[in-house]
Amino acid sequence: MTRPLLYVIAAAIVVATGCTRQAPAPQSSPSSSTPFPAGELVDLSHAYDSTTLFWPTAAQRWVLNKEAEGETAGGYYYSANNFASAEHGGTHIDAPVHFARGKLSVDQIPLESLMAPAVVIDVTQPSAQSADYQVTADDFQRFEQQHGAIPSGSIVLLRTGFASRWPDAVRYLGTAERGEAAVAKLHFPGLHPAGAEWLVSNRAVKAVGIDTASIDYGQSKLFETHRTLMGRDIPALENLASLDRLPPTGAFLIALPMKIGGGSGAPLRAVAVLPTR
C-alpha cells in the first residue's frame, strides 16, 4: 500500500469517527482573570502595642517580650520576640463561633467572606451626640436613598467616628477601669439588633465592621447583635481605623485575620483599596 493511500485512509477514519483533535484552549492565569484592584491602599488597623485597648474582662492583654536583639557572634544583627494576646482586642475579627455554637471558627471563614466591596455607613453625627447610639434600619435605608441598595456580597462598615478617640480608653470605651464591674460603665455606639436583623434579612452581606470595641453598643447585656449576625455565619470586624478615608461606595476591603485553629476571634489586618478616579 502506497504512503499517499495510507494518508487518505487515516483521514477518512478520523472524519468518520468524529475524533478530530483540537488544540487545548489557552488557560488564563489567576492574575489575568482576577487582577488585584488598582487604587491607593488604606490601612484600617490599629497597631498592637502597649496602648492597645482590650475588653475590660480580658485576662491577657498585649505583651511583647524581646527574646533577642543585637549583634550575634557571627557578626550579623538578629531580633526575635515573643508575644501574647487575647483574641478579642485591638483591631480584630469576631468569628461566628464567638456567639453561635457550631458556627465557623476563624480558620474556617471562607476567604471570599473577607474580601469584598466595602459600603461605609456614616453615623458620626448621631454618635457624637450620644455615645450609646445604635445604628438602625433607618440609617441603612437613608444610605440607600442616597447611594442605591447595599450590594449583595458586600461588607458593611459602620463609621461612628470613635476611631479618632483611640487609644484613650475613657473616651473610646467610656472607662479605663478593668474587671467585671467596668463592663457596666462601657459607652460606645454599635449596631441595633433590629438593624442587624434588617441587614441580614434584606441584604446578603458577607461581614459587618465598626470602628468601636464591639458590634453591640457598650451598654448591651445580651449581645443580641452578635447573636443575630453570627447565627447566620456572618463575622464582625471590630476596632477598625481610618474609615473616614473611605468613600460611601467604591472601595474594596481585604480583612485577613491570623489563622487561629478553632479561634473565636483573632488579630486582624484590614486594608481598603480606594477606587481610582
Show which residues are catalytic: 98
Q: Which cell is 200 given?
A: 441580614
| Cα–Cα distance, 3 to 1 (Å, whole number) | 7
Q: Please, which residues have CB within 8 angstroms of residue 269's CB and are 6 or more apart in sequence?
A: 43, 45, 91, 255, 256, 257
Q: Which cell is 158 given?
A: 459602620
User: What is the residue whose three cell numbers read 550579623?
Assistant: 76
Q: Which cell is 230 given?
A: 453570627
For residues 222 and 229, the answer to whether their CB atoms sit within 8 Å is: no
Q: At what angle do helices 193-202 and 137-147 cross, to 10 degrees?
A: 50
| Cα–Cα distance, 272 to 266 (Å, whole number) | 19
Give the count of alpha carbons within 13 A of 159, CB side only. Answer: 19
